[in-house]
Each structure stands twice: as C-alpha cells, then as structure tokens.
Amino acid sequence: MSRKKESQVTISVKNLTKIYPNGKKANDSLDIQVNTGETIGIIGPNGAGKTTLVRQMLGLLKPSEGYIEILGKNIAREPKSVKGKVGYVPQYPLSFPSLTVKELITAVMKLSGKESINERSKQIIEMVGLKGMEKNKGYQLSSGSLKLLLMATALVQETKLLILDEPTSMVDIVNRNRIRQILKSLKEQGNSIFLATHDMNEAKELCDKIYIILQGKIIAFGSPEKISTLIKSPTEVQFVSPDLEKLKVFLESKKIKATFRENVTMISFPELSETIKFLAELEEGPGISYIRLESPSFEKAVFNILERRS
Amino acid sequence: MKLFTAISMEIKGLRIYRMQLFISLILIPFSYAFVVLLSSPKSGEGIGFIFSGMIVASLVGSYISLLSMRVSNIMKPSVLELYAALPVNTGCVVVAQMIVYTLFVLPQLILCAAIAAFNSETIMAGRFIFGIILSIYGVAVLGASIGALIRNPFKAQGIISLISWILLLVSPTYYSTTDLGIIYKVILLVNPVTHFLNIVRSGLGYSGLTSYVNSLIYVLIMSVLLTNYLRIKVQRMFMLEKF
C-alpha cells in the first residue's frame, strides 16, 4: 500500500531551504507534494520565492537544506534527470529570435525523438493558438505569442509533468482561456501540473491544492475552497426590499446598521453565516425583490492572508 | 541526432546575424590583408606570410568574435532556464556552435591556405595541415571558454571585441618580428595567437619567434586546460549557482 502511494507522488519537496550567498533566505522549510494527475498552485507576491523554488526543481540551483524528488529522482543528486521528463514554461517570454514557430517546435520534437513531426507540430500550433504564425520568427512575436510558443515547446515533449511559471502572464484573454482549457485537458489525461502564478482566478479554476508563499515560507495551503474559509472575511450584501418602511422597522428591531442609496440597502456582516441568517429573516419579513451578495472570495481570502502575515 | 538538430538550430538561428558574420568572417580579415599587401613587397614569400596569418586571423574572427558571444548567451541565466527543460544539454549546444562556426570559417580558411601554400617556397603538407587543424581546435576552445567565463552577452559585446583586437594586434599576424625589440617579443610570446601562427607557418617554412616544439607544447597545454575548463563549465550541476 505504502509502495503504491509512493509511486503516485510526482513531486516531493521536503524541508526545502535555499539561502543565497548574500544570506537571503529565498525558501524556508518548504514541504510540497504533487501527486500524479494533480494540479498544484503556488501563489505569492513578487520575491516570495516561487521562481527560486522552480529553479531548484529544474536542477539549476542547489537546495541549501532539504530535498526535491521529481518522478522518484533526487534533484540534488541528479540535477539533469528532469531533462526530457518535465515540460517547462519559464516566466520570461524568451525564445530563439531567428527560428520560426514551426522550426522551433519541429526542432524540439526532433530533440525529444518524436515521430510524425509534421502532423503533430500542426496540431500543437493550432492547439496553442499560433495558427497563421507558423512562419513568424521569434523576434516578430509579441510577448503573449512567445508565451504560447513556450507552452507549445513544453507540450510537444509529451511529458507527464508540467512546471509552469506564470504561463498566462502577458497573454490576451482569449489565449489565456485557451491555455486554461489545455491545462484542464492535460489534467484529465492524468498529467501532473505545478503552477506558479499571480492569477488568483487561474489558480482557483485549475488547482486542486494551493500553497501560498510569503518571504519563502508556506503560510497557508489547501483547496481553493478551504483557503477561502481560512479566515473570516466580511460579506457585503446589497438588496432592494418592496416595502422600505417595513424594512427600516425590521432593521431597527435587529439593531443592524445599514446604508441606503435610493431604494438599495447596503449592509456589511463580519461573516457569511450571519449574512445567510439575516437574509432568511428578511425574506420572512419585509421581503427581497433584488439581491447582490459579495461573499468571502478566494481572492479576498488570499489577499487577507498575505496582508496579515506580511 | 541531437547534435545534428542542435547544429541545424544554430545555423537557422544565425540568419539574423548575417551582416555581423560577413563583417567578422570576410570583411575585416580581408581588408587587413588588402591594406598590408598594398604596403608590403609583392614577393611570393610576403603573400604567403600574410595569407598564413589570415588563416589564424579568420579563426580569431570566427571563434573569438562570434562563437564566444553565442556561448556567453547560452550561459545567461534566463537562457539556461530555457534550456533546462529542453531535451538537449548545454554541452551538446556548445559543441554544435563550435561545429557551425568551423563550417562558416572553412571556405575562407581553405582559400587562404591554398594562396599561402601556393606562394611559399617550402611546404611540409602534413605539418601545415596539422597546424591548421590544431589551430581550429585551439582557437575554438579558447573562444568558447571566453564566452563561458563572461556569461553575459551584453558585457561580452565590449570585452570580446577588445580581446579580439588585442590578440590580433599583439601577434605577428600581419607583420614580421625581425626588427622588434626584445620586450615586445616577450609580450608577443604570451599571446596564444603568436603560437598558433608559429605552428601554421612552420609548415610553410617560416621561422617564428620561438621553436615549433615550444609553440606546440604551449598550444597543447592551453587546449587541454581550456577543454577541461569548458567541460566543467557546460556540464556543471546547478548552473545558476555562483561558485
């Protein structure tokens, strides 16, 4: 049983600490696990240590303490073992300026030892939204298109693990959605995805588990739903009641302070549960003809967690 | 197969540097030769001397001015990151780049060697060809090592131009050493280009500042040390660590 469980772990980060020669602690005792078929998100502000973590995973930086195992290989002992086994999209839109989109994808496929290069490269180009740009050279592409090209080079390697460092930054809304669909489809096919991102919606939509890092430390982790409820966030409710006079009497009896704008009433509750209780009583009493609720969102929760800890 | 693909990527990758290639590989070496030929005696020996110098000057243009820039670009952190997850290692890419620049310099190398040989009174074909092959390897590994050492293409642009200029100026590429002072001669002997020239010209019967064997030992030791240095640099684990 234990052996089976172990074989399902794609990435295992244990007590990982990275201290740079200048004494800066970029990662501090990180413990992260990515199981096969899971999508894990790392969220944190700039300088939180996301890129340092990714660079250690790629074998470019040596952990000061702890270890990283990727697909069963200890990266500190075999830093080049990720080659050809991990698809990677770097944060910066860097590519080969003189190679066309098609040439680069074809070259990466050849380096990966793939067959049926023409057919597959066409599929990948279409999948990432670069159709019509096959003959464009790297230097002619926008930052967003370069990110799509990097995504394509990661995908053509057909690896079981993808490490993505802000894959949709600089990408327009249509292609951003396209990338999310690709990632969802890869997840459905059983691939593991490690996603470092600033985009809360992306993390919420794609990730099974999210780690929030600040100053190199994990300050919260869990599913997006769990993170949303980790701390109590205020809930704003706006509503219209058919009988304003009856409403005012009702609010007075409950000793609830409200703000009025024309016929819209606005109330803030410290917790979602109180809001739900109030709305049930409101429906029984003066009634509701329109309602807009701003519940404790994932974004707000993450923001509050970061703000409290920083 | 991976090496072949890396070579193909490098050749295609050089399309946007066509003008730089033309200047470094053709224009500068031939314009130097043209100016020197204009002011020197038009004897066969003189022409043989100039064109044998051009063999090494072409190698300096190709490997020190161009290859070192490409290698320094590969060693840039963001490029290392890009290559980290590509199924090709940095060593293979650097070897591919060395091969590509050898292919680029080969036509003019053959042309210069033919002109030099045709205009020289003595030819020891074996020694001459061996000298050229050893110089190809030695200058290539020197250029790649400079690139691996600098690791920053922006810094490299300035430093490498200066290194190329010094290597060619402080060496008897286009001038004879007969009338030079002893201090200048000693300075010339520090420069590896002087020894590459000595090895190449020895096959054509030209005597150098030092013996053929001395230059051979210098070049062999330098090539072995630099090969080892380059191997350590490009195959190093944790390439973004500052050691």
Contact across the interface for B87 and A113, Cβ inside 8 Å: yes
- Residue A8 in this model has a pLDDT that exceeds 70: yes
Q: What average pLDDT does the structure give for chain B?
A: 89
pLDDT of residue B208: 86
- Residue A263 in this model has a pLDDT that exceeds 90: no
| Chain A nearest C-alpha distance from B228 (Å) | 20
At residue A256, what are phi and psi to the nearest 5 degrees?
Answer: -105, 130
Residues in chain A closer than 8 A to B77 (CB atoms): 60
Note the pLDDT tens digit of each residue in B110-153. Answer: 999 999 999 888 899 999 999 999 999 999 999 999 999 998 88
Asked whether the beta carbons of B92 and B3 are under 8 A apart, the reply is yes
Residues in chain B closer than 8 A to A103 (CB atoms): 9, 12
Query: A140 touching B, CB under 8 A?
Result: no
Mean pLDDT value across residues B10-21: 85
Contact across the interface for A60 and B80, Cβ inside 8 Å: yes
Mean pLDDT value across residues A154-180: 88
- Residue A44 in this model has a pLDDT that exceeds 80: yes
Contact across the interface for A62 and B78, Cβ inside 8 Å: no
B235 confidence band (pLDDT: 50, 70, 90): confident
Cα–Cα dist B101/A299, whole Å:
53
Contact across the interface for A59 and B88, Cβ inside 8 Å: no
Q: What average pLDDT does the structure give for chain A?
A: 86
Token digits of residue B125 = 């074909």
Nearest CA in chain A to B87: A84
pLDDT of residue A3: 43
- Residue A232 in this model has a pLDDT that exceeds 90: no
C-alpha count within 13 angstroms, C-beta hemisphere, residue A96: 25
Mean pLDDT value across residues A4-11: 67
- Residue B29 in this model has a pLDDT that exceeds 70: yes
Note the pLDDT tens digit of each residue in B141-194. Answer: 999 999 999 988 888 888 998 999 999 999 998 888 888 889 999 999 999 999
pLDDT of residue A96: 85
Note the pLDDT tens digit of each residue in A190-218. Answer: 999 999 988 887 888 899 999 989 888 99
Output B32 or B109, whichever has higher pLDDT: B109
At residue B119, what are phi and psi to the nearest 5 degrees?
Answer: -95, 5
3-class state of residue B22 by DSSP: helix
B40 confidence band (pLDDT: 50, 70, 90): low
Residues in chain A closer than 8 A to B9 (CB atoms): 96, 99, 103, 107
pLDDT of residue A168: 86
Q: Residue A111 is nearest to which of B77, B86, B242, comparing CB atoms?
A: B86
pLDDT of residue A274: 84
pLDDT of residue B14: 86
Radius of gyration of chain B (CA): 18
ipTM: 0.81
B41 confidence band (pLDDT: 50, 70, 90): low
Nearest CA in chain B to A92: B78
Nearest CA in chain B to A58: B84
Mean pLDDT value across residues B2-25: 86
Give residues with Cβ within 8 angstroms of A7, minimum separation 6: A72
Note the pLDDT tens digit of each residue in B58-84. Answer: 999 899 988 999 999 988 888 888 887
Nearest CA in chain A to B241: A61
Residues in chain B closer than 8 A to A90 (CB atoms): 78, 81-82
- Residue A24 in this model has a pLDDT that exceeds 80: yes
pLDDT of residue A4: 43
Contact across the interface for A107 and B9, Cβ inside 8 Å: yes
Mean pLDDT value across residues A244-269: 90
B35 confidence band (pLDDT: 50, 70, 90): confident
Output A274 or A230, whichever has higher pLDDT: A274
Nearest CA in chain A to B83: A83
pLDDT of residue A231: 64
B43 confidence band (pLDDT: 50, 70, 90): low
Note the pLDDT tens digit of each residue in B209-233. Answer: 899 999 999 999 999 999 999 999 8
B56 confidence band (pLDDT: 50, 70, 90): very high
- Residue B44 in this model has a pLDDT that exceeds 70: no
DSSP letters along chain A, please? -HHHHHHTEEEEEEEEEEE-TTS-EEEEEEEEEEETT-EEEEE--TTSSHHHHHHHHTTSS--SEEEEEETTEETTT-GGGGTTTEEEE-SS----TTSBHHHHHHHHHHHTT-SSHHHHHHHHHHHHT-TT-TT-BGGGS-HHHHHHHHHHHHHHTT-SEEEEESTTTT--HHHHHHHHHHHHHHHHTT-EEEEEES-HHHHHHH-SEEEEEETTEEEEEE-HHHHHTSS---EEEEEE-S-HHHHHHHHHHHT---EEETTEEEEEESSHHHHHHHHHHHHHTT--SEEEEE---HHHHHHHHHHHH-
Asked whether the beta carbons of B29 and B54 are under 8 A apart, the reply is yes
Contact across the interface for A94 and B237, Cβ inside 8 Å: no
Query: A86 touching B, CB under 8 A?
Result: yes
Q: Give the H or E element holding residue B141.
A: helix B125-150
Residues in chain A closer than 8 A to B81 (CB atoms): 55, 58, 60, 90, 92, 94
A295 confidence band (pLDDT: 50, 70, 90): low
Mean pLDDT value across residues A22-40: 92
Query: A62 touching B, CB under 8 A?
Result: yes
pLDDT of residue B7: 94
Contact across the interface for A80 and B237, Cβ inside 8 Å: yes
Nearest CA in chain A to B2: A111
Neighbours of A66 (CB within 10 A): 17
Cα–Cα dist A9/A38, whole Å:
10
Cα–Cα dist B197/B135, whole Å:
8
